[in-house]
Amino acid sequence: MHEGQYRASEEPYILHPLEVACILSDLQADTDTICAALLHDTLEDTETSPEAIKSRFGADVLTLVNGVTKLSKFSFSSKEERQAENFRKMFLAMADDIRIIFLKLADRLHNMRTLNYMKPEKQKEIAKETIEIFVPLANRLGMGLVKTELEDLSLRYSNPEKYFEIAQLVAQAKAERDNTIQTIIEKIDSNLKSMHINASITGRAKSYYSIFSKMHRKQMSYQDLYDITAVRVIVDDEKECYEVLGLIHSAFKPIPGRFKDYIAMPKNNLYRSLHTSVIGPRGKPLEVQIRTQEMHEIAEHGLAAHWKYKESGKSAKANSKDAEKLTWLRKLVEIQQDTKDAKEYVDSVKLDLFSDEVFVFTPQGDVIDLPANAVPLDFAYRIHTEIGHRCIGAMVNGRIVTLDTKLKNGDIVEILTGKQPKPRLDWINIVATNQAKSRIRGWFKKNHRDEHIAQGRSNLEHEMTKAAVEDLIRDGKLLEIAKQMNYQAEDDLFAAIGYGEITLQKILNKLKVEQIAPKMKISTKASTAKSSKAIEGLEGMLHHFSKCCSPVPGEPIVGVVTRSRGVSVHREDCKSLQIVDGERVIPISWNQKDLNKTYVTKLYIETIDRIGIFKDVLGKIADSRTNITQATIKRKSKDFSTIEIGLEITNIDHLNKLISSINTVSDVVSVKRQQSGVLHKNSSN
């Protein structure tokens, strides 16, 4: 079916579906899933019809192939919207048949293995998508081997310098690590034999991505990390797991607070094991994992090893009570019902399902998983929508707390309720889950629609008059913009403003673009450029960060409407604004909730020319764990040089601390940012 087609590697395309099928075969997937793997790109890349697949291979195989086929035949306003719709389609298909997740993960794994044939920009884009979407999916399914390989490959292509640095450090320590592991294994094995326990004992260094994450999270160097070596003991039955634990704690000194019993309390992805950390030879800590062979299979392959499929051609069902734990699959559908916009839906999935978790208890002892930073209101809405609506207070661990109290692992949470539902609109600013936000908005949509329409209309008309764009209501532009935002009528837009679903600034900015478009001959149709949610007032609008001033979060910004690239984001003090028509400038601000990335900016460092100055400056930047995108040094005169350096910055505080640090270097005269006119002089010179 792929005759004459080739991949970027110049290999015949058919090798890709064959490799995907082999990965699924290793995961012990069923016949239909392996068949679908061989066909998974046919609907998208060949002339094969759905009817042909159904007639030759059955409806079940067609369902699986459809589930991983992109929406290539539909038109979208931007590349980002297309990708969001593709992910929405995939998530909803997974909720119907979990085998689609296995198929998509195998497809992504092989694509990542061959990513070296792509251009660097594409490599970074795919690696970012993998770490944000596919790694959390593999983790949710307990597929440890797939998750680890995807993480390491994502690091390799998103941050190759750090990847190869860690790889080199791990390789350099191999001899010492192997000796340590062998000593530990021999000691454990000797004790196990004396207790007549049969066991398989192995040791390893932790994955590159795991090491990278710990270095980043704890702001430590590789040499300062203490638990990068792990030993695994696999025994015959559960009882022996606890016997081995006692033996380990007798042979080695346990580290307090580092024991986790995932056998008594399994993770939601069915992972079961005992984890403990002890002081090993030479006083170095190490982690020990203890599990049975069955637990090990599930830890490595997750539900792919656990799930039993029916061969009847119907959607896959589990023959295990553990399927009840996969409530997150149902949440995929629930979030879709509450969210119109595809990009918002994907963001909700990332936040509610793929973020770090806390595990809390109901008074009856049931475990409820919530994203980090969740509050009692999130817990209430997770239990039941009505419990959330009628919430009047909460108790955590037997004590009354405020509704904005952050929940911690192990908390016992009880919700106090009133007789009538009385949610408050400002709860939206308290809760962490999109599920709770959508339930609160939904209540106000249903119960106070007329009030919100009136309030929203009044607020918008007032702001439109102030912005001098009120004529656009009569021109029908407001209805046009409402439909662009997936609202069918102006009243729907007014209601959304009234209950806080959309900001006035976002609408005003769109109206202003419409107003000046004819004068500048701007096309208001979206291009394939990307948009993001990092800027309030531009959600869903195409925009880019101006290279002339490279703004970073925390400093005042404005938007400038351009002819072909949407809105250009500038620092408020950017010199370029002096020659811009004021009519094209729109007010914007940073969205503090969506600042989860780095922003590239440049520094120009004037120095007295001396041997080692470049090394000293780069050393200060390395100490701050700031990524460098480019660095050059140019001699300006006999005595002075200028270092031009590109940096990935998280916010203005990060940048200011870095500038202060660079200014402590001997012979640094000044540090300034591009075209801002802001000079940071070294007072010691």
Each residue's pLDDT tens digit, 28-55: 888 999 999 999 888 887 888 889 889 9
Q: Is 631 helix (H, G, I), strand (E, B) or coil?
A: strand
Residue 483: in which H helix or E strand, if any?
helix 477-484
The winner for highest mean pLDDT among 8-12, 171-175, 655-659 is: 655-659
CB 642 within 8 A of CB 669: no
What does the pLDDT average to over 375-393? Answer: 94
Which two tokens mark 517? 């478009």
Rounded Cα gap, residues 196 and 207, in angstroms: 32
The residue extents of the domains of the chain are 15-159, 167-301, 355-425, 599-681
Q: Is 349 exposed, middle or buried (0-12, 13-18, 19+ CB in 10 A)?
A: buried
Pair of tokens at residue 130: 């993998």
Q: pTM above the 0.95 mark?
A: no
**DSSP secondary structure of 55-114:** HHH-HHHHHHHHHT---TTS--SSHHHHHHHHHHHHHHHHHH-THHHHHHHHHHHHHHHT
Instruction: Supply angle C-alpha 367, 370, 372, rounded to 5.
Output: 130
- Under the banding of pLDDT at 50, 70 and 90, the label for residue 329 is low
Report pLDDT digits (tens) over 156-186. Answer: 999 999 899 888 888 888 888 888 889 999 9
* 672 pLDDT higher than 80: yes
How would you class 420 by CB atoms within 10 Å of its CB: exposed for 0-12, middle for 13-18, buried for 19 or more? exposed
Structure tokens at 135: 């790694």
Name the nearest CA neighbour of 519 among 566, 469, 563: 563
pLDDT band at 391 (very low <50, low <70, confident <90, very high): very high
Can you list the alpha helix ranges (DSSP code H) found in 159-264? 160-172, 174-194, 208-218, 238-251
Question: Per-residue pLDDT for 326 more than 70?
Answer: no
Q: How many CB atoms lie within 10 A of CB 53?
A: 22
Which of the following is catalytic: 11, 26, 41, 45? 45
Which whole-number Å values give the CA distances from 385 to 29, 49, 381, 437, 438, in the listed order?
37, 43, 5, 11, 10
Contacts of 469 (CB under 8 A, 6+ apart): 508, 511, 512, 515
- pLDDT band of 314, cuts 50, 70, 90: very low
pLDDT for 13: 77
Predicted confidence at residue 226, as pLDDT, reads 66
pLDDT band at 331 (very low <50, low <70, confident <90, very high): low
Dihedral sign computed on CA atoms, order 304, 307, 312, 317: negative
- For the cut 80, the answer to whether the pLDDT of residue 95 exceeds it is no
Residue keyed to tokens 């998103």: 158
Least confident span in 383-397, 419-433, 437-451 = 437-451
* Helix and strand numbers, DSSP H then E, in the chain: 28, 22
> Hey, which residues does 417 pair with through a beta bridge?
391
Spatial strand order in the sheet of 391-396: 399-401, 391-396, 413-417
Cα–Cα distance list, 636 to 301, 641, 646 (Å)? 59, 5, 19
45 among known catalytic residues: yes
Q: Is the pLDDT of residue 288 over 80?
A: yes
What does CATH list as the number for 167-301? 3.30.460.10
Res. 321 pLDDT band, cuts 50 70 90: very low
Q: What pLDDT shows up at residue 340?
A: 59
d(CA 213, CA 541): 33
667 CB-near residues (< 8 Å, 6+ apart): 607, 608, 610, 613, 685
Query: In 83-114, which positions are buried (b, 16+ CB within 10 angstroms) versus exposed (e)?
Result: bbbbbbbbbbbbbebbbbbbbbbbbbbbbbee
CA atoms within 13 A on the CB side of 209: 18
Beta strand 285-292 with 229-235 is parallel
**Among 642, 572, 629, which Cα is nearest to 600's?**
629
CB 60 within 8 A of CB 34: no
User: Range with the lowest mean pLDDT among 29-33, 359-363, 447-451?
Assistant: 447-451
Q: Is the pLDDT of residue 75 over 50?
A: no
Banded model confidence at residue 291, pLDDT cuts 50, 70, 90: very high
For every residue of 584-627, DSSP letters joined together read GEEE-EE-GGG--S-EEEEEEEEEE--TTHHHHHHHHHHHTTPE
Contact 103, 67 (CB under 8 A): yes
Q: Distance (Å, rounded) from C-alpha 574 to C-alpha 567?
A: 15
Decide if domain 15-159 falls under CATH 1.10.3210.10.
yes
Domain covering 599-681 assigned CATH 3.30.70.260 in the classification: yes
Condensed to tens digits (0 to 9), the pLDDT of residues 557-600 reads 888 888 667 788 898 888 888 777 777 788 888 876 655 577 88
Write the single-letter amino acid at 154.
S
Residue 456 is predicted with a pLDDT of 86
Q: Alpha carbon 197 to chain centroid distance?
A: 43
Reported as type and span, the H/E element at residue 542 is none
Higher pLDDT, 312 or 263: 263
Please state, in angstroms and as integers, the Cα–Cα distance from residue 674 to each residue in 20, 621, 627, 640, 652, following that order. 48, 18, 18, 19, 15
Single out the catalytic residue among 10, 26, 41, 44.
44
pLDDT winner (highest mean) among 226-230, 382-386, 425-429: 382-386
Q: Assign 336 a pLDDT band (cuts: 50, 70, 90).
A: low
H or E element, residue 434: helix 434-447
Residues of the chain with pLDDT > 70, as a percent, come to 80
Distance CA 598, CA 285 (A): 33
User: Which of 432-441, 476-485, 491-500 has the least mean pLDDT?
Assistant: 476-485
Q: Which two tokens stand for residue 156?
A: 């390799």
pLDDT at 524: 46
For the stretch 610-643, pLDDT in tens is 888 888 898 888 888 788 878 888 888 878 989 9
Q: Counting every residue, how long is the chain?
A: 685
Q: For the ranges 16-30, 212-226, 467-481, which has the lowest average pLDDT?
A: 467-481
Pairing of strands 640-649, 627-635: antiparallel
- 154, pLDDT greater than 90: yes
44 in active site: yes
CA dist 273 and 254 (Å) reads 17
pLDDT for the residue 505: 76
Q: Is the pLDDT of residue 303 over 70?
A: yes
pLDDT reported for residue 352: 58
Instruction: Please report, for residues 307, 327, 644, 665, the alpha-carbon distance to residue 685 in angstroms, rounded to integers and kept in the order given.
Output: 69, 62, 20, 10
Parallel, antiparallel or unpaired: strands 679-681 and 627-635: unpaired
Mean pLDDT computed over 246-266 = 87
Q: Tell me the residue type at 422.
A: K
- 355-425: which CATH number, 3.40.50.2000, 1.20.1250.20, 3.10.20.30, 4.10.1240.10? 3.10.20.30
Average pLDDT of the chain to the nearest whole number: 80
Q: How far apart are CA 413 and CA 402, in angstroms?
A: 12
Residue 348: pLDDT above 70? no
More confident residue, 214 or 335: 214
Share of the chain above pLDDT 90, in %: 21
* Gap between the Cα atoms of 616 and 539, Å rounded: 41
More confident residue, 677 or 14: 14
Task: Give the whole-angstrom CA distance, residue 8 versus residue 16.
Answer: 11
